[in-house]
Each structure stands twice: as structure tokens, then as C-alpha cells.
């Protein structure tokens, strides 16, 4: 068929289309690329009119629904066959902005930007048992899943016993299928996100809410995005969290500072937080979210090593701790220093003398500082790239008083930090070691 005939056809078809629309029917079979090479489906054959429309192609791009959700552009028939709801149009009116909202347990989705909510959302959910969502790749060029916890409230971790403080004993969220390490989490995690790296062989990923007891009011609303390989927002390998802005806020999972009840950070954490080094930035600084400087500092509290000295220091709530003092739980910042424009990029002076000319790698205690035994928060700088942090916690809490109960003064609630990338112009060039 030469061009002029195609043009004539198009004009005819548009005419038909207008007639159809005028009669209140959707032009249902404007196919995307996925169907172009295949054979017609039954639905396609049901109308000659429809098969002619295969000429129109558009990519399944992200779109925004008329209610403000992130959707994917599909034909209306593809949207319904994916279990989605059409809301607003896209692709110059040929597609619908399709969003899938799943409120059941045991469903499977392959649609980008699926919202998974607890049954009955926005009401809370008190049923015990396992509730899972299965996710398959939306296309072969997808390398990661990103889960955004728009709402996430499960039972808090244990805070009753020293040996199990921070463990998710009542409710827990786990995932399978990914190649990076993703810790089990519980408690309150709204606004947090996680990345799941895909291995080439894995086809199905599962997201599992494992819930015990019927007294907890749980709520979740998780957006699942399929991240293509090699984009500016594809996280490097093995980054559980990825931040791309010049400034931002980092919090440990279940970060909830409260004097009562005592709420611990989670046990068994082992993950990387990665911050994209933006062009023109050579370093990074971290500071506590809150500037309050009482003993129960509400931005940083991580118990360290199971020694009498470290435990007493933590329980007294008076000092920062670094490196060897942070043997059990710690936040790792490579070559953390109190010196802005430091020329050091690897630890050369060990604690406890402090990093006034060098740096440390592990931070804990109740004040946030790169110097040990500090009784105040201080900005912490790092000029080591990439700007990655690593958070490690073990099975229990050692930095508490010897009694089995945890008190407010020994609450180890984790961290809330702001970061600011440091422009290269503010950094001295590294002329000597």
C-alpha cells in the first residue's frame, strides 16, 4: 500500500472513529506495539473496523490520571484486561491513563505503577494471616522494582525484652525474588521506599504481609514501579534506597521518636542507602533532622557495642560513639569527618582520639558526631564517592541497662538525618596527603 492510500485510509478511519465516539462507543482496539507483530485476537476479529485501527501505535508511557495517580497509557481494552481502571486520556486521546489498584491478597500484576492496598483500604485491616501480591515484569527492559510506601503501618517491633528488641514479632513485611538484600520491616514506614534488583532468571516477585493477631490496625498503600535498566533513576546495584536530589532526608525504618511508648529501630538491618553524586558535587554533609539537644535527642540514637562502658555511655544518654565502640549496631559513613573540605577520603586516624585530622567509618551513640564522646550534635562530612551509607543492626539491643526492660533513656530509635551535597567549589583540592 503506498502512502497516499494509507493517508486515505487514515482519513476514512478517523471519520469512522468520530462517528463511533459520537455514538458514545469507545474505539476499543487501538493497539500498542505489543500486539503489532502478533496474530489478531478474537476481539480483534469481531469487527473489521477494529482491525484497521492496528495502524495506530503508541508506547505504554507513564501518565497522570485525572485523580492524580501515576498510571500507564494503554488502550481501554488493554487497561481492563490488566485489571486496571481508566482515568483520563493519553496518547493524543488514543489511549486511556490506566491505573491498577489492588486490594486483595494473592493477586498478580505486571502493570507499572500498581497501587497495592490493604483489603478495605482506607479502613484499617485487622485480619491475621498472610497477604501477598505477586509482581511480574512489565517488559524485558525492566531491571528493578521500586516500592514507595505511601502508607505503611504495621505492628511495632518488640520493645519488651533485651534479647529481641527491634524484632518484627507480630507483623512483618518481606519480599522475595530480588537479588539485593532487603531487610524484613514492620512498624511505621510511610514515605520510605525500597528498590528490588532483578536477576535475569527471576520472573515473579512476591511482596508479603505476614500478620499475626487481630488487634493491630494495619494500613498499607504501596506503589510498585517497574524501573527500566540504565536510566538516571535506576539505582546502582545493591542499593536498598536511592536518593537523586542534592539535598534530602534519610531515616531508618520505623523511625518514630517518642518518649512513650518506647519504639525501637528494627533488628536485623543490613542495607545500603545510596545518594547519586550529582554533577559538580564533591562531598556530602549530614546533620540531625532536629536541632534539639536534650539528652533524649530525637534524631539519633543507636546503641553500640555490648561492653559495660559503651552500654553505660548509651544508657546515660550523654555521648556520641564511633568505630570500635559501635560493634553491634552502627550507621556507616565512609571516612566521616568533622572537617569541612577535608582532604581525607579513607580512615587514617582511629577512634577514640577523634578525627580532627582524619576520619571514622562507624557512628552510634546518642549524639551524631564524627568525634567520639561528643556531648552535642555536629555536622558530619564525607568526601568519599559514591555517597553511600550502610546501616547494620543485630538481633537485639545491648546498649540498655542490665534490666530486661527498655526505658525511655535507653530507647534506640535509629536515625533521621538530612544530607546536603557539597559543591566542588567549596572543596580544597587534594594537594597533599
The residue ranges that bind ligand NAG (CB under 6 A) are: 37-39, 62, 68-70, 112-113, 138-139, 142, 223, 225-226, 228
Instruction: Give the shortest CB-417-to-ligand NAG separation in angstroms.
Output: 21
Q: Would you state the cell numbers that stand for residue 261, as one nine-digit string?
A: 511508648
Nearer to ligand NAG, 24 or 38 (CB): 38
Shortest Å distance, C-beta 40 to ligand NAG: 9
The residue among 54 and 318 lying less far from ligand NAG, judged by its C-beta, is: 54
Question: Least CB distance from residue 49 to ligand NAG, whole Å?
Answer: 21
Q: How far is the CB of 262 from ligand NAG (least distance, A)?
A: 32
Cα 354 from Cα 324, distance rounded (Å)? 12
What's the rounded Cα separation, in Å, for the pair 173 and 218?
A: 12
Burial classification of residue 2, based on how many CB atoms lie within 10 Å of its CB (0-12 exposed, 13-18 middle, 19 or more buried): exposed
Nearer to ligand NAG, 178 or 393 (CB): 178
As measured in angstroms, the least distance from the Cβ of 118 to ligand NAG is 17
If the CB atoms of residues 139 and 203 are measured against ligand NAG, the closer one turns out to be: 139
Nearer to ligand NAG, 150 or 324 (CB): 150
In angstroms, give the least distance from the CB of 101 to ligand NAG: 11
Picking from 169, 170, 172, 166, the residue whose alpha carbon sits closest to that of residue 185 is: 172
Distance, in Å, from the CA atom of 217 to the CA atom of 25, rounded to the nearest integer, reads 44
Q: Are 221 and 227 contacting, i.e. CB atoms less than 8 angstroms apart?
A: no
Residue placing its CB nearer to ligand NAG in the complex, 74 or 387: 74
The CA distance from 242 to 250, in Å, is 10
Q: Which residue in this structure is represented by grid cell 492496598? A: 117
Nearer to ligand NAG, 82 or 299 (CB): 82
CB half-sphere exposure, 138, CA atoms < 13 A: 25
- Residue 192: CB atoms within 10 Å: 19
User: First vs last Cα of the chain: how many Å apart?
Assistant: 72
Q: Which three cell numbers stand for residue 179?
A: 537479588
Q: Closest distance between ligand NAG and the C-beta of residue 227, in Å?
A: 6
- The minimum distance between CB 77 and ligand NAG, in angstroms, equals 19
Q: Which is nearer to ligand NAG, 74 or 391 (CB)?
A: 74
Q: 3-state SS of 272-321?
A: EEEECCCCCEEEEEEEECCCCCCCCCCCEEECCCCCHHHHHHHHHCCCEE
Whether residue 254 contacts residue 185, with contact meaning beta carbons closer than 8 Å, is answered with yes
Amino acid at each position: 500500500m503506498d502512502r497516499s492510500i494509507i493517508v486515505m485510509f487514515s482519513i476514512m478511519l478517523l471519520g469512522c472513529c468520530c462517528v463511533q465516539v459520537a455514538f458514545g462507543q469507545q474505539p476499543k482496539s487501538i493497539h500498542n506495539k505489543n500486539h503489532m507483530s502478533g496474530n489478531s485476537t478474537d476481539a480483534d476479529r469481531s469487527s473489521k473496523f477494529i482491525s484497521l485501527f492496528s495502524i495506530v501505535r503508541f508506547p505504554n508511557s507513564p501518565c497522570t490520571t485525572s485523580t492524580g495517580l501515576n498510571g500507564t497509557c494503554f488502550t481501554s481494552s488493554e487497561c481492563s484486561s490488566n485489571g486496571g481502571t481508566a482515568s483520563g486520556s493519553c496518547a493524543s486521546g488514543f489511549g486511556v491513563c490506566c491505573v491498577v489498584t489492588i486490594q486483595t491478597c494473592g493477586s498478580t500484576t505486571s502493570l507499572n505503577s500498581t497501587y497495592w492496598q490493604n483489603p478495605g483500604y482506607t479502613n484499617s485491616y485487622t485480619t491475621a494471616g498472610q497477604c501477598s501480591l505477586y509482581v511480574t515484569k512489565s517488559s524485558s527492559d525492566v531491571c528493578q522494582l521500586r516500592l514507595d510506601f505511601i502508607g505503611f503501618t504495621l505492628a511495632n517491633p518488640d520493645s519488651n525484652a533485651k534479647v529481641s528488641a527491634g524484632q518484627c514479632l507480630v507483623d512483618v513485611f518481606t519480599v522475595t525474588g530480588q537479588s539485593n538484600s532487603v531487610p524484613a520491616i514492620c512498624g511505621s514506614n510511610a514515605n520510605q521506599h525500597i528498590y528490588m534488583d532483578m536477576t535475569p532468571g527471576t520472573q515473579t516477585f512476591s511482596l508479603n504481609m505476614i500478620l499475626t493477631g487481630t488487634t493491630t490496625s494495619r494500613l498499607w498503600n504501596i506503589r510498585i514501579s517497574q524501573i527500566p535498566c540504565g536510566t538516571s533513576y535506576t539505582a546502582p546495584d545493591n542499593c536498598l534506597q536511592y536518593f537523586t536530589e542534592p539535598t534530602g532526608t534519610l531515616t531508618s525504618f520505623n523511625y518514630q521518636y517518642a518518649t512513650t511508648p518506647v519504639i525501637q529501630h528494627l533488628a536485623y538491618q543490613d542495607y545500603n542507602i545510596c545518594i547519586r553524586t550529582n554533577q559538580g558535587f564533591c562531598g556530602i554533609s549530614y546533620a540531625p533532622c532536629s536541632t534539639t539537644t536534650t539528652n533524649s535527642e530525637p534524631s539519633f540514637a543507636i546503641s553500640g557495642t555490648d561492653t559495660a562502658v559503651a552500654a553505660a555511655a548509651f544508657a546515660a544518654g550523654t555521648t556520641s560513639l564511633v568505630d570500635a565502640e559501635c560493634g553491634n549496631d552502627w550507621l556507616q559513613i565512609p571516612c566521616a569527618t568533622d572537617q569541612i573540605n577535608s582532604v581525607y577520603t579513607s580512615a587514617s586516624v582511629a577512634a577514640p582520639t577523634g578525627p580532627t585530622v582524619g576520619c571514622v567509618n562507624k557512628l552510634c551513640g546518642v549524639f551524631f558526631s564524627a568525634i567520639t564522646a561528643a556531648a552535642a550534635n555536629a555536622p558530619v562530612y564525607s568526601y568519599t564517592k559514591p555517597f553511600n551509607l550502610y546501616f547494620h543492626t543485630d538481633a537485639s539491643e545491648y546498649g540498655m541497662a542490665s534490666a530486661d526492660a527498655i526505658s525511655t533513656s535507653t530507647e534506640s530509635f535509629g536515625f533521621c538525618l538530612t544530607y546536603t551535597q557539597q559543591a566542588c567549589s567549596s572543596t580544597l583540592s587534594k594537594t597533599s596527603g
